[in-house]
Amino acid sequence: MSWRSVVITQPTKLSVKNRQLKITQDEEWSIPIEDISSIVLETPQINISSKAISMIADNKVVMYSCDDKHLPNGIFIPFACHSRELKVLKNQLDCTESFKKRCWQKIVMKKISNQSKVLKLCKMDYISNYLDRIVTKVNSGDTDNKEAIAAKWYFLELFGKNFHRSQDNIFNTCLNYGYSIIRGAIARTIVSYGYIPSIGIHHKSELNNYNLADDFIEPFRPIVDLWVKENINEETEFSKYVRAELVNLLNVDVKIQGKLQTVNNAINVMIASYTTAINQNDYKKLELPEILPLQVHCYE
């Protein structure tokens, strides 16, 4: 299982040799491509060979481009990497509305539960208890939009009474960056399992190529929220260090199927369980992550 995240912030030449990604700056480094889960290209001054791009795709590495503010604005993911893609697509299209609504109910419940866990870890028990009560009232398809109600109280408690997700500040910049990284990792895994990422469970925008990724990111968002709460204040700069730490959230532990897994591995478990859920027409088979105190996984 790949685990390394590579962030390129300086003028660089990327090439491959002997299944190693060669990173050439003032010095030269080599990393086995099979160890790499993601590459973030933060500077426009990067020269990458077509062979490197091909091997990156073959090894199911997700690669991000960034805008002038260092925020991810593009995702390169593998194409047609599942041996039975037509069968998977047919199953995806044949999902009933009832099945999708139950899956969305489960996703929303886990998201709100994880938001409550974030508040508990931050010693904000009053609103966390309120979110716990909301969880029990989420219905099939979340037709009462309990997700939005929980989010309103959650963000006001976490970042202050004047906070809003539309504001241009360091908190939202970090949140958006972290969400984009996890969203790309989910999109990569979705494609590797043969699904079309534009066909969502709940999200259905015709202008969004990643509706399914936007469904599955929801229970992972509180991981980014917790890191931002613990590490960012109004004076913090959006530095290389901050961005690298946000990328490294792919390697923190969560619990899924009763086991500790990195976010990267948990995404794979989640999408694999979604396949099982579709094949057995049983939304209860869908496995979702439970947030833990932030701890980078210890590889032994």
Residue 1 scores a pLDDT above 80? no
- Rounded to whole angstroms, the Cα distance separating 186 from 276 reads 17
- Rounded to whole angstroms, the Cα distance separating 237 from 135 reads 35
Kindly report, residue by residue over 266-290, the tens digit of the pLDDT. 999 999 999 999 999 999 999 999 9
When mean pLDDT is compared across 69-83, 92-106, 108-122, the lowest value belongs to: 69-83
Kindly report, residue by residue over 206-233, the tens digit of the pLDDT. 989 899 999 999 999 999 999 999 999 9
Mean pLDDT over all residues of the chain?
94
- Per-residue pLDDT, 297: 82
24 beta partners = 13, 28
4-8 and 36-41 strand pairing: parallel
Under CATH, which number does the domain 85-285 receive? 1.20.120.920
What is the distance in angstroms between the CA of the first residue and the CA of the last residue of the chain?
Answer: 14
Cβ count near 250 (within 10 Å): 27
Cβ count near 162 (within 10 Å): 7
- Per-residue pLDDT, 291: 97
Query: 0.75 exceeded by the pTM?
Result: yes
- Rounded to whole angstroms, the Cα distance separating 207 from 198 reads 9
Under CATH, which number does the domain 4-76 receive? 3.100.10.20
SS3 72: strand
Provide the residue ranges of all domains of the chain, joining segments of one domain with +.
Answer: 4-76, 85-285
